[in-house]
Amino acid sequence: MIPISLRWVGEATGHLELIDQTLLPAQFTWLTCRDVPTVVEAIKSLRVRGAPAIGIAGAYGMAVAAGEAIRGQMAASHARAHVLARAEELATARPTAVNLRWAVERCLRAIDGLPAEADAPALAEALLTEARAIHDEDRRLCEAIGRHGASVLPEGGVLTHCNTGALATGGAGTALAVITAAWDSGRRFEVFADETRPLFQGARLTAWELVQRGIPVTVLCDSAAAHLLKTGRVAACIVGADRITANGDTANKIGTYGLALLAEAHGVPFFVAAPSSTFDLSLETGAEIPIEERAAAEVLRPLGAVAAPEAAKAFNPAFDVTPARLIRGIITENGVVSPVTRERIREVLST
């Protein structure tokens, strides 16, 4: 079974449904989002996560905003003002992943051309059409990323970090799509998944997805990665991305930078897989990427278990930045950026 992360139910006055990823793998539950605050909370609390998936959720959230205007029987001018206000709430729900603001702004452009007197149903129709287009495009992008990545993935074991599969996107995934595409082509290899602390997205989500697809997976503590790489069982590391700058520096789940350093130390190629929408060419280097700091409870009481004294403090950045020099290639829907340089990035993105 190939899981999905989210879906729209009904037409313009319908609603968004998300798999509540905070409950996996113990419980599979759909969360119904009929208002924007519910969508924003789902993004902030990681009920939906992964840069492409939260972008799609933000796009559908715009349609939800228009639905609020319809139910509130707002006049045309009030309906548009309401949607614009909700757009900023959605776009700022999480600061690091560039896909979220990109998708919301794309939906705003979809209604820019509508006349000022366009009513709430007209706004809803245009916004839902654009959100569905973003979702459909991501499905196709994931397939292309998987295809391009499988062609460059070396033979041997693969180590991945966090979750980059169907749960994190609108399709088969990014880095995990590369792994599953290679597997589906008949290749056989060991798949290793870092737990990805503090919220265990690798253990809870990546392992769950691979098991659903019938692909054997071995989960390891993040701190065991160095020893695993030393054994020679890993031929490549591959991860996703939440933002990539003009020079190829890449923000991804905390722990990615450390894994890239370990891969370099052991001569193992390190790949990033991401759609072109994850590139933010307005930023020159990774030093400009805002790094989200999350609640101390995620570290001190992960998944509700007391793991440290109550008086202890926590350092909990959600992301770190891997310098371009540590990345063998960035796999996109247009092809592979390798070597990772400004010139090659521009060349691939313009394809």
Q: Which residues are catalytic?
A: 242
Spatial CA neighbour of 254 closest among 187, 324, 182, 315: 315
> Please, what sign has the CA dihedral across residues 51, 52, 55, 61?
negative
DSSP secondary structure letters along 299-340: HHSGGG---S-TT-----BSEEEE-GGG-SEEEETTEEE-S-
Number of helices followed by number of strands (H, E) in the chain? 12, 14
Q: Give the residues across from 31 on adjacent strands.
A: 18
> Amino acid letter at 315?
F
Spatial separation of the C-alpha atoms in residues 326 and 217, rounded to whole Å? 25
Spatial separation of the C-alpha atoms in residues 43 and 52, rounded to whole Å? 12
Spatial separation of the C-alpha atoms in residues 201 and 108, rounded to whole Å? 32
Which residues, 6 or more positions from 68, have their beta carbon under 8 angstroms from its beta carbon?
35, 36, 82, 86
162, 240 Cβ separation under 8 angstroms: yes
3-state secondary structure 92-140: CCCCCCHHHHHHHHHHHHHHHCCCCCCCHHHHHHHHHHHHHHHHHHHHH
Spatial separation of the C-alpha atoms in residues 120 and 127, rounded to whole Å? 10
